[in-house]
Amino acid sequence: MQNKPFGELVTTTTDWRKTLRQNHSRTFIIIALFFLIYCAIGLIVDLYLYAGSYPDASLSDLFIALLSFQLFPIATLIMLAIASISLFICYILYDKLMLLGTNYHEITPQSAQNLTEKQLYNVVEEMKIAAGLRYMPKVFIIDADYMNAFASGYSEKSAMVAITRGLMTKLNRDELQAVMAHELSHIRHLDIKLTLTASLLANLTIIVLDILFYNAIFSGRRRTNNRQSLTAIIILLRYMLPIISVLLLLYLSRTRELMADAGSVQLMRTNEPLASALLKIHDDYNQHQDEYRAALTATAHEQIRREAYLYDPTMAGISSLSSINDLFSTHPSLETRLAALGFKIDRKI
Amino acid sequence: MTLILILILVALIAYAILIYNRLISQIETIRNNQKQIDIQLDRRFKVFESLINVVKKYMDYEKTTLKDVVALRNQAQEAKAAGNEKERIEAENKISGIASNLNVVFEQYPDLKANQNCLQLQEEIVSTENKLAYAKQSYNDSIETYNANKKSFPPSLVVSTFRSKLDFDFPYWQLSEQKIAEQESYTVKL
């Protein structure tokens, strides 16, 4: 969609309650799936181990024995323990990661240097009241010209929102408010916690599967029939599961973006400012592609923030990251987002 | 068999406790949000009071200087029309004098440039009114969540068991009929 000029917005209707409800259940399904996949892999490890010690038992017998705890599913439990410890460490360190590599400073009512900064703080505070959050999130400004914003934090207490100077100066008050409402909705919906938990589970699954894969292929131990059929499953899973995980993660991330958009409408009770802010950002990226590409490439650790951003720079054809992930977007397309907000793009002009 | 029955019973009790606690926290949220409206009303009063005081002090100064500038400007224009260059230059010089004088004042109070002052005032008023409105919205939203939960099916059973603790009728924040009619027909008269 490079340099494609967008037409005029045509209002249709929007039902943010429905959007929130739909995506809420989608999220539940995805997270449950991730958890089930993780446990299933754990059980396969257990099956593989016990298949070695009980060569005569059939796989289904072993499986039932594991589920009914007649055989202790030790690998599954160890894997669950590892997952909870790594999640815990991640929760502690994550907030410090998000601003890595950028020039930023915090805004407080006392330290606001000019009217726009004061306005930004006010807007966030207004949205905090509307959202009924208990703590005022920290507000950061990133000194960069490109237009973007993101939220982070595992709980209301440690929450923060960050916005680039470009976005702050180019949007009007209402649009700024809509963007901040979107970010506060991410905090309200605990999105950061959710996406990180999912991707951590996905990564751990793949690591365990990898270890099992090499073990199954190169182990010199005696091969039983059971182990051979398990090896076939493991090989299949090793190539299938990473793709499934990535697709699920992207689906989750898009779902949460749509939910945050709906949350923004819920807080402001109007859908127009967010739509016009998104269009403005999109046009701005298309106009300044080269500068922004340079700026984003020069900023270290951009990929950490990619999922959290309000607007994915790759949408405008800017991909500073040379990974296969760029082929899939973490964000729904602009048309989808506008449609969910209740706007259609009229391309006739 | 008895084990299964006991497990089902325990699960049901746990579910009822969950609903009970959720309803209690929803009720407290409504109460807190109701007080948030009072907090914002109180804030509005204090903010506007101090704003008016600040503005009075500085606007007085700027009002008189503005009058002077306008008068001098007229003087200069009249002089120009009459062809009296000397008087015109004199008037223009006086304006420059006031301007540089003003700049000195502004340098001392960089935040208090006249337009900046007004913009800041405007921003503060808008933000204060918004905060009040959003506090009311948030109050109504919390009532919506509570009412929807209370009236939906399994929770309604729990509510009927603990009616004195869980069943409250919170009124939505709204304008009176008369007030609505008044506001509806309101137009800006300039």
- The pLDDT of A316-343, averaged and rounded, is 65
Residue A145 burial (10 A CB sphere; 0-12, 13-18, 19+)? middle
C-alpha A260/C-alpha B52 separation (Å) is 39
Would the pLDDT of A338 be above 50?
A: yes
Any idea where the domains of chain A sit in the sequence? Answer: 8-15+101-190+253-346, 21-96+192-249
Average model confidence (pLDDT) across chain A: 80
* Predicted local distance difference test score (pLDDT) of residue B187: 78
Indicate if the pLDDT at residue A207 is higher than 60: yes
Percentage of residues in chain A having pLDDT higher than 70: 82
Give dist(CA A294, CA A320) in Å, integer.
8
Instruction: Give pLDDT, residue B102.
Output: 56
Tokens describing residue A279:
């269009």
Q: Would you call A174 an interface residue with chain B, using a CB distance cutoff of 8 Å?
A: no
Distance (Å, rounded) from C-alpha A241 to C-alpha A264? 34
* Mean pLDDT value across residues A248-270: 88
**B26 part of contact set with chain A, CB < 8 Å:** no
Task: Note if A125 is an active site residue.
Answer: no
Rounded average pLDDT over A155-177: 88
Flag if A129 and B135 touch (Cβ within 8 Å): yes
Chain B residues with CB under 8 Å of A130 CB are 134, 137-138
Q: What is the pLDDT of residues A6-51, one digit of tens each?
A: 555 555 556 777 777 777 888 888 888 888 998 888 888 888 888 8
What mean pLDDT is predicted for residues A71-81? Answer: 87
Given phi > 0 = left and psi -120 to 50 = alpha, else beta, which region is A102? beta
Fold observed for domain A8-15+101-190+253-346: Zincin-like (3.30.2010)
Q: How confident is the model at residue A296, as a pLDDT?
A: 73
**Confidence at residue A324, expressed as pLDDT on a 0 to 100 scale:** 43
Q: Report the range of poorest mean pLDDT among A85-94, A140-149, A203-212, B35-44.
A: A85-94
The answer on pLDDT for A53 being more than 90 is: no
Weakest mean pLDDT among A27-31, A102-106, A115-119, A266-270? A102-106
Q: For chain A, what is the largest distance between any 2 Cα atoms, rounded to a whole number of angstroms?
A: 77
| pLDDT for res A177 | 94
Burial of B94 (C-beta count, 10 Å sphere; 0-12/13-18/19+): middle
State the best of B3, B32, B134 to mutate against chain A, taking most chain A CBs within 10 Å. Answer: B134
Cα–Cα distance, A336 to A342 (Å, whole number): 10
Domain ranges of chain B: 2-140
Whether chain A has a CB inside 8 Å of the CB on B43: the answer is no
* Cα A121 from Cα A112, distance rounded (Å): 8
pLDDT for res B139: 93
| Average confidence score pLDDT of chain B | 81
Q: Indicate yes or no: CB of A115 within 8 angstroms of CB of B142.
A: no
Confidence at B146, pLDDT banded by 50, 70, 90: very high
Task: Provide ipTM, 2 decimals.
Answer: 0.73
> How many Å apart are CA A18 and CA A24, to the nearest integer?
10
Choose, from A183, A257, A302, A307, the residue flagged as catalytic: A183
State the Cα–Cα distance between residues B120 and A156, nearest whole angstrom.
29
Work out the pLDDT band at B56, boundaries 50, 70, 90: low
Cβ B131–A129 below 8 Å, yes or no?
A: yes
